[in-house]
Structure 1
Amino acid sequence: MSTLHAGYFTDGLDADPELAAAIRGEEARQRDGIELIASENIVSRLVLEAQGSVLTNKTVEGLPHARYYGGAEFADVIEALAVERATRLFGCRFANVQPHSGSNANGGVFLGLLRLGDAILSMNTAAGGHISHGHPATLTGRDYRILTYGVDRESERIDLDEVRAVALDHEAKLIVAGGSAYPRAIDFAGLRAIADEVGALLMVDMAHFAGLVATGLYPHPFPHAHVVTSTTYKSLRGARGGLVLWNDEALSDRINYGIFPGVQGSVMMHAVAGKAACFGEALRPEFRLYNEAVLANARAMAATLAAAGVRIVAGGTDCGLMLVDLTDLGVTGDIAAKALEAAGLAVNKNLIPFDPRPPEAPSGLRLSSNAGTARGFGVGEFETVAGWIARIVKAPSDSAGIASIRGEVEALCARFPIYS
């Protein structure tokens, strides 16, 4: 008697109606709405199929050709391909493509390169840093001595004098650059000079601008950084997961062991296959055209918002994301985000530098051009989107106006279909 239930190898999503309804609801939300959240993008059909492949069934531990489990012939080929493509894409010698997330990539680097209790100097979350760089609520914040730097109050850009002073005063062992809501280019050479002066390592988390780095449209972390981390699903338009890059072979064992067995176990091979796919796409000439459009679109959106009287933090953007300051409009980020979502515009509330308000009801919004550009929007479309945003944040309780914009959003999305 067979132990398999009927349809085990043949039934698809319709075999689970509740799950199917939720997944199709999400597909409709993405199809009919505009994604402006900087932590999201829209992957290709190739990446979807690679991630949804039979690699889901395979468990491996260790590095390619040095696994703890057997049956890894093709897993080795796929992971080695992802590593080779990543190093070629970013012009470095070594890569670890196994991290399940950007936070895991960061945690693995910290564990591999530092001792517990060492001082890490990273950007304050209120100034645009990421929680995985030492927020008190995380393991990193518990296990290391966290120092922070911010931005200049007038320019809202990184204050290198502050970075140097804190690093010297507290003997930082690692300086972290990059974050989740910093819209301007970062002076990696200046940070490396400070790191060298204090005897620290420099780590760059390029999760929000990796695609621009890969295409030469943003300052390159190498050769200044000792190690670079990233996610693979934001500006790289790839599988959800993380990535670590470096050039010094002396760091290899420490970084690799920091990832496994340091912070995670088995490799998610289906995700690694998705990473290999997106790295391959990023090596094509079309990927530079995409990133050129990301920059042009972000700048057009920022300029249109500013012209409508909505203040842009730091006066603009050098990447695909920007911060909007709602203070003068008398509305908080949580209220504005809900109103925008009702219109089919997905954004996230966000702290702004020196924000007097709490994270739950901050003074700002974070916006991105990544996903809209992936579905084909150009400058004209983003100027239109910015106009809708300005109207809504100025009148977030105008339900009739929001409903009208919702119809316009759906009409625009219908012109740029996804997964048709």
Structure 2
Amino acid sequence: MTDVTPTDATASSVAATASAAYRSALQVIGAVEPRVADAIGAELADQRASLKLIASENYASPAVLLTMGNWLSDKYAEGTVGHRFYAGCQNVDTVEALAAEHARELFGAPHAYVQPHSGIDANLVAFWAVLASRVEAPALEKAGVRHVNELTDADWAALRRQLGDQRMLGMSLDAGGHLTHGFRPNISGKMFEQSSYGTDPGSGLLDYDAVRERAREFRPLILMAGYSAYPRRVDFARMREIADEVGATLVVDMAHFAGLVAGKVFAGDFDPVPHAHVVTTTTHKSLRGPRGGMVLAQPEFADAVDRGCPMVLGGPLPHVMAAKAVAFAEARQPAFAGYAQRIVDNAVSLAEGLTRRGATLVTGGTDNHIVLVDVSGFGLTGRQAESALLDAGIVTNRNAVPADPNGAWYTSGIRLGTPALTTRGFGADEFDRTAELIVDVLSSTTPTATRDGSPSKAKYATADGLADRTRDAAAEVLDRHPLYPGLEL
């Protein structure tokens, strides 16, 4: 984790202090439930020994991690800064205000709400804020009342129907969208009538003219942009033009690429904050903070966003908001911009290494931190590829590709991401070697037969000794870039 510590002397001091802190913490935990302490230590060992390529994972700094284990966890703090439903929240006010301040400065946003517990929670806050501002508020004004409690039963029933009749247009799952963008298994799909836009069947790239045409036909209340498995940039200026043309609110979910926005790698038309009405994000992934969520909003939606608790959220988690403040402070340091650029440079190196060795990539490459590999060319499903790579110490996740014949469970792809290994200090050479190991595993893995003799979508066989050889080769690379160097439990 060389990106957080500026000098060798500082790094050594931080590592020694963190080691003492973690050893003490594990002793305290182990005195109550030693199996939990053992699992925590084992997780660090596993992460140190693995090539972690999960696009949605990273390694938070010791400062961020340690911030979450403190007395702020014991406070209830419903409400907002200075307007709590519980007494004694002055210290919570301090950390929440700091987190929001850092977030506004980091992203150039007029308003930041740092209470959401996750990305899904952040999206729910955004959706209900849009409904409250665009649907509920005008209806109350028309009825001549200020609050829903003042409506007659008949007027309230009519408003409830109106709230439930709204439409959302978002990227389809197989094109790289997310469940929270209006799909039926998620609560967003129960809140909105949903339709999807996809990508060009030939290139796999976003077709803005097709998005515009679909928006004109569907007339959504919310045009949803952002992705979880699309390996390219999005032109948010064009998305805002489309939203304005049909009278939609542009909501952008930047959970995956928030670190690239914070590091100014995505700027201008590719920075969602100046163009979207509301932006949601997680605070981990490429942003390298604690697990949590956040909403950034233009002033017209700020009041509604701030009612996230108790509208859809439970009590805020003050210890996590404190960790968000620390992570945002880290991301405001000059070194973070270099880190964000290396994430993208490394993704390009990984993509080129895979392509050169015969792998097929969705869209043919990447502009961000994601590389999406179509493993059908190796005769495998995504589930088989994911499992075979995991056996060899390479941690990925299976993912659908556009028009995937294997569906969302078995899939035909694996999604790779570069933020975590970039944090460890990997560069172009290490990612090229990683590409070589991935292709070696995939090309040496074959499906096995089911009971009726047909190829299995889940079971597989690999060459003898392949997993051990790959782990040994990966260890050579990993040992050159230790995770939390100097931190000993």
Taking structure 2 as the reference length, the TM-score comes to: 0.82
Alpha-carbon distance, 1:187 to partner = 1.2
Are residues 1:20 and 2:68 paired?
no
In the alignment, structure 1 residue 190 sits paired with structure 2 residue 234: no
Cα offset, 1:411, TM superposition = 2.9
**In structure 2, C-alpha distance between the alignment counterparts of 1:288 and 1:256, rounded to whole Å:** 29
In the other structure, the counterpart of 1:57 is 74
Q: Which residue of 1 is the match for residue 19 of structure 2?
A: none
Q: Residue 290 of structure 2 aligns to a residue in which SS?
A: coil
**Counterpart mapping for 1:2-401 below 5 A:** 11-114=28-131, 115-218=163-266, 219-247=270-298, 249-257=299-307, 259-396=308-445, 397-401=462-466
Q: Deviations over 1:50-75 (max 9, x none)?
A: 11222222221111111111111111
- The counterpart of 1:408, out of the listed 470, 473, 478, is 473
Per-residue CA shift, 1:227-269, capped at 9, x if unaligned? Answer: 111100001000100011022x221122222x21121121011
Structure 1 Cα separation of the partners of residues 109 and 187 of structure 2: 29
Q: Distance in 2 between matches of 1:17 and 1:229?
A: 38
Indicate the SS of the match to 2:363: helix
| Per-residue deviation, 1:81 | 0.3
Aligned length: 410
Asked if structure 1 preserves the Cα contact closer than 8 Å seen for 2:222 and 2:249, the reply is yes
**Structure with the greater alpha carbon radius of gyration:** 2
In 2: Cα distance, 1:356 partner to 1:68 partner: 51
The CA deviation string for residues 333-366 of structure 1, in whole angstroms up to 9 with x for no partner, is 1111111111111000000011111212111000
Rounded to whole Å, the distance in 1 between the matches of 2:464 and 2:205 is 37
Paired with 2:40 and 2:294, the residues of 1 have a C-alpha distance of 27
2:459 aligns with none
What CA distance in whole angstroms lies between the structure 2 residues aligned with 1:66 and 1:169? 43
The 2-side partners of 1:198 and 1:231 are apart by 28
Q: State the alpha-carbon separation in 2 of the partners of residues 367 and 262 from structure 1.
A: 36
Shift of 1:116: 2.5
| One-letter amino acid of the structure 2 residue matched with residue 243 of structure 1 | M
- Answer whether contact 2:297 2:305 (CA < 8 A) is retained: no
Spell out, residue by residue over 1:138-167, the C-alpha distance to the aligned partner (whole angstroms, 9 max, x if none).
111112101110000111111112211221
Return the alpha-carbon distance in structure 2 between the equivalents of residues 296 and 170 of structure 1: 38
Q: Is the 8 A contact 2:382 2:399 kept in 1?
A: yes
Q: Distance in 2 between matches of 1:13 and 1:157?
A: 51
| Offset of residue 292 of structure 1 | 1.3
Unaligned runs of 5+ in 1: 1-7
| Distance in 1 between residues matched to 2:219 and 2:104, nearest whole Å | 32
SS of the residue 1:11 aligns to: helix
Per-residue Cα deviation, 1:24-59 (whole angstroms, up to 9, x for no partner): 221111011111001110000110111122222222
For the Cα contact (< 8 Å) 2:184–2:190, is it kept in 1? yes
Q: SS where residue 322 of structure 1 aligns?
A: strand
**Quick check: 2:29–2:36 contact (8 Å CA) kept in 1?**
no
Structure 2: gaps spanning 5 or more residues: 1-24, 132-162, 446-461
Shift, 1:14, TM fit: 4.4
